[in-house]
A and B are shown apart, each in its own frame.
Chain A
C-alpha cells in the first residue's frame, strides 16, 4: 500500500493561454471533468488579439463533444447562427464540370454482408447510369434543400444519416465561454509578454502579463494560435511542414449576404491554384479562397474570391497565412498545444474543430498529475500525431486523385508523391475496391468511398461475393432502395423550415418567420 501514505500530486491549476475556439473548447471541456476545489482553470486572452475563428463548418463528430460538455443543441445553434449540414459538395476536383458529395451517411445498404458500392460498381460496369448519390439519404435531401433531424429507430431509412453544423466559430467560442465561466473558469484579460521556466526541469512555471500580473500553473494549454507562444517560442518544439503534399499556404476570406435558400451542405469548388469554400449561416454566408501563393498573388486571389461569391460582400476580405503541418510534439513538458499552435490542415474536410476536440478528449483520457508520466505523454503524442496524419492523408487524396491538366498547380498535385499510407490505401482500393481503415479512425469506409469514387478512383474488380446474388435480384433491390430514399427525402421539410422551428437566431430572417 505504498500509495496510502502518498499525497496525490494533483494538478492544482490549469492555465489556458489564448481564447478563441480552441481555448474556450478546452476550458469548457476541462471544467466539466475537473473539480474546482482541487483544480482551478484560468484562461488568459486579449481582446486586442483577433481570433482566426477556424472552421465555420463542422463534421458529425462534434455531437460527441457537445454531448460530453452538456450543450443544449437548439440553444447553442440559436446563439451561433447555426445551420444544418449534410455533407460537403466538391465541384471541379477530379476534372472541370465534375461534382460529387461527401455526405454524412451511407451510400446504399449492404447486400449479403457486402458493401453496397461493389454492387453499384458492378451495375455501372454493365451500363447502368445510376448515380451513387441516388442511394444516399443525405445526398438526395441536401440537393433538394431539405433537412430533418434523423430518427433513432434503426428500422427507418431516416436513421441512416448524421448531420453537422455551419456556425460562427467566434460565437461558438463566446457560447462556450459562458458555459466555462458558469462552471468556475476564470477569464483574465491581458497579453502574455513573458514566460517563466522552472530552473531545474525546464517546465513552464508561470506566464507574465503586460499589466505586470504573473499567472502560475501546473499545466499550461497553448491555445495561442499560429503564434505558438508556449510550445514554439518558449519550449522550442519544432514544426513539421507538410507543404510538399498540401501546397496551399494562404486563404482570403469574406462574408457575403445570404441567398434566398440556404443549402444544407458546405461547398468546396476547386479553382486554378486552390479552392473556394461556401458556408451558409443564418445571418450571412462565409466564403474563402484557399490558395498556393506560388501560383497566384494575393490580389488575384482576392479578385477571384469576390468574383465567385453569389451575393455582395459584407466586409473587406482578410488574408491569412499558414503552413500545413504539425508540431513535432504536441505535448512537451507541462504544455499541451491545442488548436493552431499544434498544427494546421486546410478546412477542405471541415476538420479544424474536430482536431481540437480530439486533442482535448485525448488529454482528458490521459489527464496528468504533477509527476507528468512520460509514457502517458509519449502515448498522447503518438495518438494525436496519428489523428493529424490520417486527416492529412484524406485531404491529400482530393488533390492527388485528379486528371486536371489546366494549371501548374494541378499538374503538381496530380504528379506529386503521396505519403506511403495513402498510396497503400489507393492501391488497395484500385485493386479490389476494398477500403483500408480502422475503426478508431475519423474517416471510415463510407467516407473514403465517397471521395475515391467521387474522384474516379475506380477499382479493377469488385468483391467476389457480389456473384452470389442474381442480377435481377440486385437490380430490384437497388431500385427499391432508390425509391425508398427518394420518398424519405421528399418527406422532409425544407432546411429553412427546420431552422425556423428548431433554432432560429434573433435578428435573422428565420426568427421573423
Chain B
C-alpha cells in the first residue's frame, strides 16, 4: 500500500452541513483505516428551519448510500419545482422559474427558439406551458412515478425542502454508525507545526485533538483562519447590498406549496419554503435601510402564523475567499463563501464542494496541485452560482425602494453581462465547465424574467413548420393532462 501521511481527518462546523461532510468522508474512506472526527459546534440557537437541497439530493445521497425513499418518509420532505417571484417586475405579475428543461430539442435547435418564433408570429407565449415542473407546481401534486420518467428525459429536476433538525439527526445517526467520532465542542484554538501545517486543535475542555487533514465548515472560519492568514476576500456587496437576514418559523400551510416563494421588498427580499411539518420565512435586507426590529416586523406580517419572538438574526458579508484549500485545511460551504439565499441554497454549495473533494483527497498534507485545482473549480462554481442569482436583479424592473433602484445602475460582473448579451442577441447560451446551474436553468430564468432574444435561431425557420407547431401543441397538452 502506498504511504500516506493523512491518517486522521477532522471536520468542524455546525448542523447538517458539517454532519453531511462527515458522513461523506466516512463513507468514501470506509476500510482505509483513516479516522474521521466531527467537531460539532452547538448551533447558535435559533428556531427550527427548513433546508433546501438544490436540484434534489439524489446525487449526493446516492453516493453516500442513503436510501432516498426512506429519508423522505422520515423527514416530511416536500419536492420543490421552482421559485415564484413576486414584486420584482413593474407589471405586478408573478414570475415563476421552474426547474428542468422546457420542451425538447428538435433538429439541433434548442426548444426556446421555437417558442420565440411562435411569439414573433402569434403574439405572447407562456413559456412555462412547456415545463413539466411548472405543470406540477400549478397542480400542487408531485407524482414520483411520473417524476422518474420526466427526470430521465431531463424534463424535470427538483429541489427538496427538508426539516433541518430531522436532517441533522439522520446524518448524525448515519455518521455514528459509520464510526465517525462526534465531539460536541468547538475548537478554541489551533496549533501549527514548523512547516505551517495545522497539527491539532484545542477544545474548550482543554483537550487537544490531533489531525492530519482538516475540513472547516464553520461560519466563523475557526480552522481555516489559522492557515489562510493572507487570503483575499472578494466582496460582492456592490452587486447586491443585502447584509443581514432574519428568519422565523411558522406553521406549515395546510397544503405545502411545491415551490419556494420570494417577494421583493423595499429593503431586500422575503423568502419562504415549507415541509409538511414546518415553514420557514426569511427576510434578507440591507441593514443601512432598516433595522432588525423593523425587519422582523415586516417578516412576521408577511408570514402567516409566524411568532416574532422566535426571530433569529444573522449578518454576513456577501462574497467569497480567493482560496479555499490552504496547506492541510479546506474551507467548505459557509467557510468559503457567503451568498444570501435566493436561488442558491447554502447546503447546495457544501454538497457540491464535498463531492469534488472526495475525488481529490490527498495522501500528503502538502499537495499544492490538488489544492490549486480544487480552488479553481470551486471558484468557477461559486461565481457561476452568484451570476445565476444576480441575473434576477439584473433583469428585474422593480422601481420601488432604493434597494432595487440602485440595481438599475449596477455594473454586473463581466461573466454575467456576456451571458445576458449573448442571450439577448440570438438566444444563445454557452455552458462553462464546473457550473452548478445548467443551460435549462439559465434559459428558464432569462425568459421568465422577460428577456426574450431579439431574434430566434434562423434554423427554427428551416424545419417543417406545420409539424413543428403540431409537436409543440402536443407537448403542451401532454403536460397539461399528465400527473
Residues of A at the B interface (CB closer than 8 Å) are 1, 3-4, 6, 8, 10-11, 33-35, 38-39, 68, 112-113, 122, 125, 364-369, 371, 373-376, 379, 383, 427-428, 430-432, 434, 436, 438-440, 461-471
Contact = CB atoms under 8 A, between A and B. Distances in A.
B369 A468 contact: no
12 contacts: A8-B458, A10-B461, A33-B108, A33-B462, A375-B418, A376-B425, A376-B426, A379-B430, A428-B373, A434-B369, A461-B364, A462-B2
A160 to B, nearest CB: 21
A434 B461 contact: no
Given A35-B463, A430-B369, A432-B369, 17 more contacts: A1-B120, A4-B121, A6-B120, A10-B458, A38-B461, A113-B359, A125-B2, A365-B428, A368-B458, A373-B426, A376-B422, A376-B426, A434-B369, A464-B361, A467-B31, A467-B33, A471-B1
B191 interface: no
A440 B433 contact: yes
B370 A464 contact: no
A375 B462 contact: no
Given A35-B461, A428-B369, A465-B32, A8 B2 contact: no
Contact of B31 (A427, A428, A432, A469): A469
What 6 A-B pairs are tightest by C-beta distance, nearest first? Answer: A3-B120, A438-B433, A431-B369, A468-B31, A467-B32, A35-B462
A350 to B, nearest CB: 25
Interface in B168-183: none
Contacts of B430: 379, 383
B400 interface: no
A285 B159 CA distance: 57
A375 B373 contact: no
Contacts of B362: 432, 464
Nearest to A5: B120
Most buried by A among B31, B119, B454, B458: B458
Nearest to A4: B120
B434 A467 contact: no
Contacts of B237: none
Most buried by A among B107, B418, B462: B462
A39 B463 CA distance: 12
B462 A39 contact: yes
A379 B418 CA distance: 10
A470 B1 CA distance: 9
Nearest to B366: A431
Interface in B26-43: 28-34
B241 to A, nearest CB: 29
Most buried by B among A431, A434, A464, A468: A464
Interface string B344-375: 00000000000000111111100111100100
A364 B2 contact: no
Interface residues of B, number: 49
Contacts of B120: 1, 3-4, 6
A432 B461 contact: no
Contacts of B107: 33
A465 B28 contact: yes
B4 interface: yes
A122 B367 CA distance: 19
Interface of B: 1-2, 4, 6, 28-34, 63, 107-108, 119-121, 123-124, 358-364, 367-370, 373, 418, 421-422, 425-426, 428, 430-431, 433-434, 454-455, 457-459, 461-463
Contact of B360 (A376, A427, A434): A434
A431 B32 contact: no
A440 B373 CA distance: 17
Contacts of B119: 1, 3
B2 A122 contact: yes
B4 A467 contact: yes
A122 B4 contact: no
A376 B428 contact: yes
B370 to A, nearest CB: 5
A465 B361 contact: yes
Contacts of A33: 107-108, 459, 462
A366 B361 contact: no
A3 B455 contact: yes
Nearest to A464: B361
A369 B455 contact: yes
A482 B360 CA distance: 27
Contact of A468 (B30, B359, B360, B418): B30
Contacts of B63: 113
B462 A440 contact: no
A255 to B, nearest CB: 37
A375 B421 contact: yes
Contact of A375 (B29, B360, B370, B422): B422
A157 B425 CA distance: 47
A466 B362 CA distance: 12
Contacts of A374: 425
B4 A439 contact: no
A467 B30 CA distance: 9
Nearest to A470: B31
Contact of A439 (B108, B360, B364, B433): B433
A371 B426 CA distance: 11
A11 B426 CA distance: 14
Contact of B367 (A365, A368, A432): A432
Nearest to B422: A375
A365 B455 CA distance: 14
Contacts of B434: 438
Contacts of A471: 1
Contact of B29 (A39, A383, A465): A465
Contacts of A465: 28-29, 32, 358, 361
B460 to A, nearest CB: 10
Given A373-B425, A376-B422, A464-B32, A432 B462 contact: no
B431 A440 contact: yes
A478 B121 CA distance: 61
Given A368-B458, A431-B367, A440-B433, A1 B360 contact: no
